Amino acid sequence: MVEMIKFGAEWCGPCRMMKPAMVSIQEKYATDVEVKITDIDVDDNSALGKEYGVRSIPMIVFLKDNVVTEKKVGVLSATEIESIIENLKTAEVPLGSN
């Protein structure tokens, strides 16, 4: 299972810039049982943000089989996100923590 958790906030300009990419990714993987996409507002869920070490937003955490494999801070395109997800889907073991 590949999980992608995006941390952001409504007031965050770069987070708003990522919205079209997030919509595209959510639509693409809506029926893929191997991929889970979650969008977390840090103002509503600060505990989860602390758990994943969120210090700047937007931040995306990628997990493979419940192991954090990558953390990206800043605006990512749908293409960049999709590439990471697809690479993780085909990885046999977690790639290691970044």
pTM here? 0.91
pLDDT of 94 reads 53
16 assigned to active site: no
Is 14 within a domain? Answer: yes
Flag whether 96 is in a domain.
Answer: no
| Number of structural domains the chain divides into | 1
User: In this predicted structure, what is the pLDDT of residue 35?
Assistant: 97
| CATH classification at residue 79 | 3.40.30.10
CB 33 within 8 A of CB 49: no
Within a 10 A sphere around the Cβ of 85, how many other Cβ atoms? 21
For 18-37, what is the mean pLDDT?
96
Q: Which of 15, 21, 59, 85 is catalytic?
A: 15
Domain enclosing residue 35, as ranges: 2-90
Q: Provide the token pair at 29.
A: 């993987």
The predicted model gives 16-32 an average pLDDT of: 96
Q: How far is CA 55 from CA 22, 46, 47, 51, 85, in A?
A: 20, 11, 12, 11, 23
Residue 15 annotated as catalytic: yes
Instruction: Report the pLDDT value the prediction gives residue 31, as an integer from 0 to 100.
Output: 96
Task: Please report whether residue 34 resides in a domain.
Answer: yes
Assign 77 a pLDDT band (cuts: 50, 70, 90): very high
Per the domain annotation, does 97 fall within a domain?
no
Token pair for 78: 């749908």
pLDDT score of 97 more than 60:
no
